[in-house]
Amino acid sequence: MLWLYLHFPHMLLDHLRRHRQSSRPLAILSGQDPRVAQACPEARALGITAGMRLKTALALAPNLDVIQTQPGQDTQVLEAQARWLYRCAAHIALRPPDGLLAEVASLQRLYGGLPGVWQTVAQALETHQLTASMALGHTPEAARLLARADQGECTADTARIRHRVTGLPLSQAGFDRTTTERLQRLGLTRLGEVLALPPAELARRLSPDALSHLQKIQGTRPDPVQPWHPPHVFRQEVDFLQDIEQSQGLLFPLQRVLSELEEELRWRQQDTDSLHLSLRHRQGDDSRIHLRTAGPEHRAEAFLNLARLHLERHPLSAPVTGLRVCVRRFLARDASRGQDLFGKHSHPEEAWHTLASRLQARLGASALQRLVPRADHRPERAWAAAGALGEPHQQRPVPVLPGHRPLWLLASPYPLGEAPAAWLSGPERIRSGWWDGQPVQRDYYVVQLADGPLAWVFRDLRNDWFIHGWFG
Amino acid sequence: MPGYAELFCVSNFTFLTGASHPHELAERAAALGYHALAITDACSVAGIPRAWAALKAQPVKLITGSWFQLSDAPAGEARPSFVLLARTRKGYGQLCRLITTGRRRADKGQYQLHGHDLDSHCLDDCLCLWQPPPLAGSDAQQALACGEWLQQRFHHRFWIAASRPLEADEEQRLARIRWLADQLRCPIVATGEVHMHSRERQPLQDVLTALRHRCTLDQASPHLFPNGERYLRPLPVLQRLFPEPWLRETLRIAEACTFEPGALRYEYPADLVPANETPTDHLRRRVREGERRRYPEGTPERVRDQIRKELALIEELKYEHYFLTIHDIVRFARGQGILCQGRGSAANSVVCYCLGMTEVNPAKVELLFERFISRDRNEPPDIDVDFEHERREDVIQYIYRRYTRERAALAATVIRYRPRSAIRDVGRALGFDPALVEQLLEAIDWRDRDTDWRQQILDKGLTRNPRIADRFFNLVNTLLGFPRHLSQHVGGFVISAGPLAELVPVENAAMADRTVIQWDKDDLKSLGLMKVDVLALGMLSALRKALALIGEARGTPFTLQDIPPEDPDTYAMLCRGDSIGVFQVESRAQINMLPRLRPTTWYDLVIQVAIVRPGPIQGDMVHPYLRRRHGQEPVAYPNDAIRQVLERTLGVPIFQEQAIKLAMVAAGFSAGEADQLRRAMAAWKAHGDLTPFRDKLIAGMLERGHDPEFAERLYQQICGFGGYGFPESHAASFALLVYASAWIKRHYPAMFYCALLNSQPMGFYSPSQLVQDARRHGVTVRPADVNHSQWQHTLEGPEHHLRLGLRLIRGLPAASAERIHRHRPRRGYRDTRELRRLARLSQRDMECLAGANAMPGFTRNRHQAYWELLDHEVPAALFAEAGETERPEPPCEQLPEPSEGQDILADYHSQGLSLRRHPLALLREQGCLRHCLTAEQLTTAHPGRPVQVAGLVTGRQRPSSAAGVTFVTLEDETGNVNVVVWLATARHQRKPLLTARLLHVQGVVEREGEVVHVMAGKLTDLSHLIETLPVRSRDFH
């Protein structure tokens, strides 16, 4: 067996930097008391290192860009890398948080020898603009240690690999902290010195875990590898370092994602006709866009055109901080279109989606909406129109604030022309929303107008009266 | 209009809820013409003293109350929510008891009260205003059940509180209230449920609410009030909103509440005075006893006069118990052999000298006694007593024992919003990106006096929208100074005659077994209550230990009083700047000042202690003083009054007292006004406005014939103090300890360092630095060794060699070290197994000892020692009996011998210091530091000459008094090098400046007298040399 290990020293950083133009130093933070998790080469040149406190990092580089990681983000990004590696090698495994393992002995014939394998993977890394150190080893653990220490080379020569492994300093030998400290206290500095100690004597002095680690490096203890297979969903996210305000700006990152989709589809030998695009904003809900192609499609260009058309027609509602492309529907290349539409096998939800998207396509997306409540004291903001294609189960329950509200709330209040015949209740004073630039300061009353209807009226700061709604 | 009393009003002492200070509420209530105002914070009376202080001069009556929400529902499903008001002093006591119960039961900052607490507490002198549950929360029957339950506990002292926040469904709510009143046959009273003094505070109240619920304003809507109606409304508005009987009811209740916080009289514990004596007689007798001790040859007439004056004043102000209480505590400490010393204005009296609270001999410092106790200020006297830091707990436990926990508790410290926390919290509520806010905070230079932090934030690009920026700063500004939580005061005890919980509620502090009262020191002051400050001082511990060692060496006990006064050798040492370890004057700035000031008397030390402070430095007092002291500048006084104040400091104000006194004699301030100035100065940094005082000061001085230039300079000097001036009364006491510690360092260095090391952590220097200094002073230091060391550091033999103790070994518990010492055979331990068995040491203990190389008698080196004891195949117990015949394990030949470098680093790693060669000596020998001068060579280098130096970075400081300058201290094998880095240099070389552990500096020598600096040019990080020295060095400090 021969194993190839890919170690991504700053995977998240690569992921983020791919979509950015600025060359300012960048660091990724983690934890409550933020510490630097990864730093880009520019930042490292200024002395910023992993584990450093934000305070120190900023003292070193006052114009540092920082990004806080989201929980689970690294797993997602790692899986995205696994997806393309899977296309090169059949037997791969994840080594979270930042490593991938592939069995390569069986690939040598396919790629015309070990250098071919090495080149192929190196090329793929370059295409994806990823920094990774690669290493080969006869055990997964040996490959991992060499990759992490950036000591890998393209050779299957046992003696050479062994030489490299034994030369590893203790701090890079993969022991837990206590064991490393113990071995250091014995005056040992390299892994080879540990391996040279009398084995029985050594075994009596090491924890079972440390011992098993040593044996796994040498291959004297089995180290089973759980193979990984890609899920049947395509999901790709992009986080922007700076908010994007023009839809034009979305096309570049979108194109990259769509190319990856194309690559995925081509490899799967499948098509799709349905693409979910979400745009993330700093505040409020995501903008969800559902793109449907005229027929099964796999070309990035076709998807991009569709997206461009949509974005041209619908200006952005707010600056975008990130986007996600998601494809759940895969069609076999030879399946004829529409075969499953409204067929008896189709899911009711799917049928509804198809209907809604057809209506939307015919009437325009904004013509079809759904009402949802919002917790806000301002009446016009106490409800919201959500896209008809939103996923209801993703909504959090919203507390409904008390108050007698009219069934028909006017889109915009209009002046009250007459004195009411009767004042039924009030005032209800609403003074809220100063924080988002749409403050409301009104006194509301329920009144009966001369000709009978019950109206919801208010008086504003300037003492003008308006009708804001009608009760049934 | 019948008038109005607001009976339900929370201040910002209901943390993250109330949006106005108590004094703002009080002032607004007065301006609106309210009849009375109740402050009813949630299970707290913490806001009362501040409201009381603001209302003292107003016709508005202050009512003391508190708002409660029970944690359970004793009847039905609704949890009762109600306000209790104290009717009389007795009712106030009952209220405090209930609050104490609720607070003591919960974690710090929370409270928890149950239905049964209302039954187990007597509340018959409190009035209850019930806040019925909201409509949405419960139906009418549920609400009625809740009301009935509560009414049964208060009978005719029960009202339903009706409020008009103008919210949705208000008609139905009022109808419900009327129906409940009808069912319960009880009156309804109008209340405002006030959360802020003015509607303008609604945004801040919303922000606080969002913070309380840990969300942003966007997410907070379900928790926010729909409007800002919970404010103190003008009377006409109230009249429109409430029926007249409900308003009249407020007055009836206010009438019934006669308790006023001013009625709280502190009853000092009478325990200390025998039954047949008056407090005055008793104090007089104690002082006479002291006189005989202090003046065995008879009290001089002048002193006797002074005592008479002081005692008369104490009697007049009824402070006898205060002095007797402190005397008692001090006497306890003395009895236990705990060193202590008082300081503060009142401490510098002959009475205190005779009572043994202070050692400052009045014969030496006449001038200090002018400011004994101020009759005009009507403030309790102020005495801080310092105790040995390791034994202060004994004193605290004595106080608890003597007065019980019922009667003694620590004062609180109100932790308030400061710019950093306010910016962070407002930013969080407004939904700013937290990483961005943190970034801004880190980037703000708080010491940059030229650019306001607000401008800095704008410059750094928080927001481009001026409206948002405006709102942000307004909110931050208003939030500044808001209380966040109560913490414990460093040592201020309140002791009472009766149960303390009836005087002020007691709550839990964060520290286990500590309780604090709900008031801080200013509150106590404004209510005229006294506290006793029991503080901890590390130097006193060190002094006591050093005195004991000296006594041992001399064969007779040796006390502070045995130290000969004004010893020239001691002053000569200080003048050289040789003061590492000496109390107060060991910092780098002090060390640099010593050779310039050249102290030769005790009073010079008083000045030395006070002059190296931000106040005198920023007020530019230092240079004029030094010039005059060395006769390079004439000393002149505008008039005799000023001469009186400034003569002892050569015409330059150095002490806080002088700044105050100057305002009085030069500008005609009254004592009261001068005291206001002092407070304004202390608060200057936070609130930043001395302008009203400026006009008055300058006008006053011009009026008295001073020229405008002098007036302006004096004003600037007073401003410079800005709260950072050091009082002479404290400096005087400190100077005694400076002298005592310096004398011991000069004459008994081994004892000095041994005592200092045994009192760690304290002072400026690490054990490593102290040990190096000790060796430079000729003390022989021996390593920690299981066959010679105890837990503490000890002195060995007639030469007084300093034997390091096992306490230096990181991770080794004191108990294990004690066992090693106690069970050591006369011939010493012979191998690791014997050691492990006899001293019953754990594997971890043994590893610590091996790492520290503390078994040199029977192990070849630390590697082998470690190898030997890592072998856990042999259960120690099995061989317990056979221990003597056990054959030693053969050494492992494959293990490397430790190199010198490895040993040095392992020493640092395990003990924080090494007695081997300094790492720099090793590097120098290896040729890594060519062209670098040592610290020693630098002392003879010519000023202005370019040099290179290198050393371990032991200190980086950016003092606020030196704009933009960073001081770096480098340590090499011969001593310390002082490096000065100017701002521009620092900006360009942040990386080496901030991260290097071993730093190389190219610079220029500067010399002022004996003080030598290197002005840094290029900085180079050489930390990698430590790593290559031998192996790892991640933990090298």
CB atoms within 10 A of CB B404: 12
For B584: left if phi > 0, alpha if psi spans -120 to 50, otherwise beta; the answer is left
Question: Would you place residue A411 in the very low, low, confident or very high pLDDT band (cuts 50, 70, 90)?
Answer: confident
For the residues A423-438, what does the mean pLDDT come to?
86
Min Cα distance B873 → chain A (Å) is 6
What percent of chain B has a predicted confidence (pLDDT) above 90?
46
pLDDT at B445: 66
pLDDT at B448: 57
Q: Does any domain span residue B320?
A: no
Q: Which helix (H) or strand (E) holds A68?
A: strand A65-68
**Cα–Cα distance between B573 and A403 in angstroms, integer?**
81
Mean residue pLDDT across chain A: 83
- Suggest the residue from A22, A44, A171, A185 to mutate for an interface test with chain B (most B CBs closer than 10 A): A185
Burial of B1034 (0-12, 13-18, 19+ CB in 10 A): exposed
Q: Does any domain span residue B583?
A: no
Interchain CB distance below 8 Å, B873 and A204? yes
For the residues B847-868, what does the mean pLDDT come to?
88
Tell me which residue in A34, A377, A428 faces B224 most closely, judged by beta carbons. Answer: A377
Q: Which helix (H) or strand (E) holds A466?
A: strand A465-470
In this predicted structure, the answer to whether residue B359 has a pLDDT above a threshold of 60 is yes
CATH number at residue B258: 3.20.20.140
In this predicted structure, the answer to whether residue A336 has a pLDDT above a threshold of 50 is no
pLDDT digits (tens, 9 = 90+) for B108-126: 889 999 999 999 999 999 9
Tell me which residue in A170, A283, A375 faces B222 most closely, judged by beta carbons. Answer: A375
Residues in chain A with CB shorter than 8 Å from the CB of B222 are 375, 399, 401
Interchain CB distance below 8 Å, A184 and B870? no
Nearest alpha carbon to residue A275 among A224, A193, A330, A355: A330
Q: Which helix (H) or strand (E) holds A76?
A: helix A73-88
Interchain CB distance below 8 Å, A428 and B435? no
pLDDT at B693: 77
Interchain CB distance below 8 Å, B894 and A67? no
Please give the single-letter amino acid code of residue B233. Answer: R
Q: Does any domain span residue B327?
A: no
Q: Are residues B927 and B906 in the same domain?
A: no
Mean residue pLDDT across chain B: 86
In this predicted structure, the answer to whether residue B887 has a pLDDT above a threshold of 70 is no
Which among B911, B933, B949 is the end of a domain? B911
pLDDT at A301: 87
Least confident of A194-198, B311-315, B402-406, B1027-1031: B1027-1031
Interchain CB distance below 8 Å, A47 and B990? yes
Q: Which helix (H) or strand (E) holds B1020?
A: strand B1011-1021
Q: Are residues B907 and B926 in the same domain?
A: no
Interchain CB distance below 8 Å, A431 and B227? yes
- The set of long-range contacts for B816-823, using a CB threshold of 8 Å and a minimum separation of 24, is B816/B841, B816/B842, B816/B845, B817/B789, B817/B790, B817/B791, B818/B791, B820/B786, B821/B789, B821/B790, B821/B791
Residues in chain A with CB shorter than 8 Å from the CB of B995 are 47, 56, 60
**Counting runs of H as helices and runs of E as strands, what totals does chain B give?**
45, 22
Q: B891: domain range?
A: 801-911
**Cα–Cα distance between B344 and B769 in angstroms, integer?**
33
Unique residue bearing structure tokens 């202390």 = B682
Burial of B46 (0-12, 13-18, 19+ CB in 10 A): buried
Q: Are residues B32 and B157 in the same domain?
A: yes
Q: Are residues B980 and B879 in the same domain?
A: no
Tell me which residue in A55, A185, A197 faces B894 most closely, judged by beta carbons. Answer: A197
In this predicted structure, the answer to whether residue B890 has a pLDDT above a threshold of 80 is no
Beta-carbon pairs below 8 A across chains A and B:
146
Within 8 A by CB and 6+ apart from B935, the residues are B949, B951, B970, B971, B972, B974, B975, B976, B977
Cut 0.80: pTM above it: no
**Cα–Cα distance between B327 and B308 in angstroms, integer?**
18
Interchain CB distance below 8 Å, B227 and A432? yes
Q: Are residues B87 and B20 in the same domain?
A: yes
Q: Does any domain span residue B737?
A: no
In this predicted structure, the answer to whether residue A20 has a pLDDT above a threshold of 70 is no
pLDDT digits (tens, 9 = 90+) for B48-106: 999 998 888 889 999 999 999 999 988 888 899 999 999 999 999 999 999 999 999 99
Nearest alpha carbon to residue B412 among B518, B506, B499, B507: B518
CA of A399: which chain B residue's CA is closest?
B222
DSSP B810-836: TT--HHHHHHHHHT--TT---SHHHHH
Q: Are residues B37 and B137 in the same domain?
A: yes
Question: Would you place residue A399 in the very low, low, confident or very high pLDDT band (cuts 50, 70, 90)?
Answer: low
Least confident of B365-369, B396-400, B581-585, B996-1000: B365-369
pLDDT digits (tens, 9 = 90+) for B413-448: 999 998 889 999 998 898 877 777 777 777 676 655
**Residue A427 preceded by cis peptide, ω within 30:** yes
Q: Does any domain span residue B393?
A: no
Question: Would you place residue B362 in the very low, low, confident or very high pLDDT band (cuts 50, 70, 90)?
Answer: low
**Cα–Cα distance between A87 and A101 in angstroms, integer?**
13
Least confident of A418-427, B33-42, B785-794, B838-847: A418-427
Question: Would you place residue B1037 in the very low, low, confident or very high pLDDT band (cuts 50, 70, 90)?
Answer: very low
Buried/exposed code over B570-583 (b: 16+ C-beta within 10 A; e: otherwise):
bbebbbebbbbbbb
pLDDT at A342: 47
**DSSP letter, residue B513:** T
**Cα–Cα distance between B774 and B915 in angstroms, integer?**
12
CATH number at residue B958: 2.40.50.140
For residue B483, CA distances in Å to A76, B246, B508 come to: 43, 33, 17
Greater pLDDT, B678 or B535: B535
**Cα–Cα distance between B699 and B262 in angstroms, integer?**
36
Q: Are residues B242 and B128 in the same domain?
A: yes
Burial of B931 (0-12, 13-18, 19+ CB in 10 A): exposed
Nearest alpha carbon to residue B136 among A404, A162, A299: A404
Residues in chain B with CB shorter than 8 Å from the CB of A283 are 218, 431
Q: Does any domain span residue B168?
A: yes
For the residues A67-78, what does the mean pLDDT come to?
79
Domain count across chain B: 5
Residues in chain B with CB shorter than 8 Å from the CB of A47 are 990-991, 994-995
pLDDT at B1029: 63
Q: Does any domain span residue B598?
A: no
Interchain CB distance below 8 Å, A188 and B862? no
Can you read off the two tokens belonging to residue B238?
Answer: 């109230």
Q: Are residues B205 and B127 in the same domain?
A: yes
Greater pLDDT, A340 or B146: B146
CA-derived radius of gyration, chain B? 34
Q: Are residues B70 and B132 in the same domain?
A: yes
Tell me which residue in B431, B897, B898 faces A283 most closely, judged by beta carbons. Answer: B431
Q: Are residues B235 and B216 in the same domain?
A: yes
User: Among the residues of B602-655, which ranges form H helices?
Assistant: 602-611, 614-618, 622-629, 640-646
Highest mean pLDDT among A41-50, B113-122, B310-319, B1016-1025: B113-122
Interchain CB distance below 8 Å, A434 and B167? no
For the residues A291-301, what does the mean pLDDT come to?
83
Which among B462, B480, B498 is the end of a domain? B480
Unique residue bearing structure tokens 């802020």 = B196
For the residues B310-315, what does the mean pLDDT come to?
86
pLDDT at B1036: 34
In this predicted structure, the answer to whether residue B8 has a pLDDT above a threshold of 80 is yes
In this predicted structure, the answer to whether residue A73 has a pLDDT above a threshold of 60 is yes
Within 8 A by CB and 6+ apart from A362, the residues are none
Can you read off the two tokens belonging to residue B462?
Answer: 């928080």
Q: Does any domain span residue B10?
A: yes
pLDDT at B1035: 31
B350 within 8 A of B369, measured Cβ to Cβ: yes
Q: Are residues B59 and B162 in the same domain?
A: yes
Sign, CA dihedral B849-B850-B853-B855, equals positive
Can you read off the two tokens belonging to residue A50?
Answer: 């992993």
**DSSP letter, residue B869:** H
Which among B683, B702, B724 is the end of a domain? B724
Greater pLDDT, A61 or A303: A303
At CA B272, angle to CA B268 and CA B274, rounded to 5?
120
**Cα–Cα distance between B263 and B277 in angstroms, integer?**
27
Min Cα distance B408 → chain A (Å) is 38
pLDDT digits (tens, 9 = 90+) for A116-174: 889 999 998 888 888 899 999 999 999 999 999 999 889 889 899 999 999 999 989 99
Q: Are residues B108 and B204 in the same domain?
A: yes
In this predicted structure, the answer to whether residue A259 has a pLDDT above a threshold of 80 is yes
CB atoms within 10 A of CB A412: 7
